[in-house]
């Protein structure tokens, strides 16, 4: 999702290599190379760096980068802004890393298990990821590491200082750089992802007055709960406004029309979603609303058409797009709509 990163090396334990390769293939990642990790953190990072320097474990020739970013997969919520900050600082200083204030005081215990001393919390910071380095700096540092460094060390910035005399620039990180360490953290991470994905919805209508009015009313009723982007467009024109919304990583779309199933328009919207690549990271929710305005209330829908809708939903589900159908039958009466709702599937 960050276009200016040219290559991504994923270092995993030997027993998980095939699983990781299948994930890369499933989601169509083009810039990812999977590398076997070592028995410690530093040995794993060194294996990843060797891919650029020695082209080990790579099916394609990778160009040595000017700057390399090192990041832990257990910190899943890193934003592009902090990546850019550490890269910019590393280009100027040779090395840079994200830091956060300590939330607890660090103490040392003596051999008797009693308090020996404590650190003044205001003077110290927690070292976080991501960290960035000029490639030649960090690779040279790892080449000079002792076995003790590789087996017991944890801090990459310290290696750059110790072996290359490169004093890292410290960049203030954000609160979302926390680590998924314990099982309970998995539930917290899942909750954050679900919450973020549900915070924005795009309502798409065609240009007809009745349809656009329904979109406006939905916008008014939802805007106090979620961020709503309401637009009236013609999908046939491949609207640039809609493309901008895709690039903004909105994952929820509600498409309202009064055409009989609007098959062509729906397929075009799905094609635009696929080309945007946003379904690669998280499922996209696409709610198709058919608005039927008539004098007579009727919920009849052809079995053949319903079957087509269900088949279409099953097909796009393979592309990580979840489609739901909603039929709203409205009877015009004294300028008000008497509405009834029927869920297709």
pLDDT digits (tens, 9 = 90+) for 287-303: 888 776 665 545 555 56
Mean pLDDT across 305-325: 84
Range from 104-108, 121-125, 142-146, 227-231 carrying the lowest mean pLDDT: 227-231
- 39 pLDDT higher than 80: yes
- 319 pLDDT higher than 90: no
- 56 pLDDT higher than 70: no
- 88 pLDDT higher than 80: yes
- The strand order across the sheet containing 125-134 reads 67-70, 125-134, 95-101, 169-172
Mean pLDDT across 158-184: 93
For residues 87-97, one letter each, b for 16 or more C-beta atoms within 10 angstroms of the residue's C-beta and e for the rest, the string is bebbeebbbbb
* Nearest CA-CA partner of 279 in 22, 8, 26: 26
Map residue 101 onto helix, strand or coil: strand
Instruction: Note the pLDDT of residue 289.
Output: 81
- 261 pLDDT higher than 60: no
- Higher-confidence residue: 55 or 312? 312
pLDDT tens digits for 201-246? 888 887 677 677 777 777 777 777 777 776 666 555 555 666 666 6
For residues 206-229, one letter each, b for 16 or more C-beta atoms within 10 angstroms of the residue's C-beta and e for the rest, the string is beeeebbebbeebbeeeeeeeebb
Looking at the domain that runs over 199-343, which CATH code has it been given?
3.40.50
DSSP β-bridge partners for residue 340: 329
Mean pLDDT across 322-342: 58
Q: Are 33 and 49 in contact (CB under 8 A)?
A: no
CB count within 10 Å of CB 205 equals: 25
- Higher-confidence residue: 206 or 274? 274
Helix (H) or strand (E) holding 184: helix 183-197
Q: Are 128 and 98 in contact (CB under 8 A)?
A: yes
Averaged confidence pLDDT in the chain: 82
- 337 pLDDT higher than 50: no
In the chain, where are the structural domains located?
Answer: 8-95+129-179, 199-343
Instruction: Note the pLDDT of residue 55.
Output: 64
**Peptide bond before 114: cis, by omega within 30 degrees of 0?**
no
Where do we find the tokens 């028995």? 39
Instruction: Note the pLDDT of residue 149.
Output: 95
Range from 34-38, 69-73, 177-181 carrying the lowest mean pLDDT: 177-181
Map residue 239 onto helix, strand or coil: coil
Structural domain 8-95+129-179, CATH architecture: Alpha-Beta Complex (3.90)
């Amino acid at each position: 999702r960050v276009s200016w990163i040219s290559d991504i090396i994923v270092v995993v334990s030997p027993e998980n290599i095939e699983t990781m390769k299948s994930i890369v293939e499933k989601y169509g990642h083009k810039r990812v190379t999977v590398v076997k990790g070592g028995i410690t953190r530093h040995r794993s990072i060194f294996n990843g760096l060797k891919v650029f320097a020695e082209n080990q474990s790579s099916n394609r020739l990778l160009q040595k980068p000017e700057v390399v970013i090192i990041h832990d997969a257990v910190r899943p919520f890193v934003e592009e802004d902090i990546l850019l900050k550490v890269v910019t600082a590393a280009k100027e200083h040779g090395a840079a890393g994200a830091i956060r204030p300590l939330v607890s005081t660090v103490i040392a215990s003596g051999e008797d298990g009693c308090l020996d001393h404590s650190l003044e919390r205001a003077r110290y910071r927690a070292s976080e990821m991501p960290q960035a380095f000029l490639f030649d700096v960090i690779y040279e540092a790892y080449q000079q590491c002792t076995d003790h460094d590789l087996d017991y060390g944890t801090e990459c910035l310290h290696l750059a200082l110790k072996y290359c005399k490169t004093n890292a620039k410290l960049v203030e990180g954000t609160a979302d750089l926390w680590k998924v360490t314990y099982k309970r953290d998995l539930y917290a991470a899942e909750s954050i992802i679900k919450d973020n994905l549900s915070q924005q919805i795009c309502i798409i209508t065609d240009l007809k007055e009745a349809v656009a009015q329904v979109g406006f009313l939905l916008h008014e009723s939802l805007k106090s709960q979620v961020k709503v982007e309401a637009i009236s467009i013609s999908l046939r024109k491949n609207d640039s406004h809609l493309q901008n919304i895709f690039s903004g990583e909105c994952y929820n779309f509600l498409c309202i029309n009064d055409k009989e199933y609007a098959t062509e328009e729906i397929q075009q919207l799905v094609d635009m979603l696929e080309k945007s690549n946003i379904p690669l990271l998280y499922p996209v929710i696409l709610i198709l609303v058919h608005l039927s305005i008539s004098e007579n209330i009727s919920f009849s829908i052809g079995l053949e058409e319903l079957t087509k809708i269900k088949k279409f939903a099953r097909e796009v589900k393979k592309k990580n797009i979840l489609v739901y159908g909603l039929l709203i039958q409205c009877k015009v009466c004294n300028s008000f709509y008497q509405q009834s709702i029927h869920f297709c599937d």
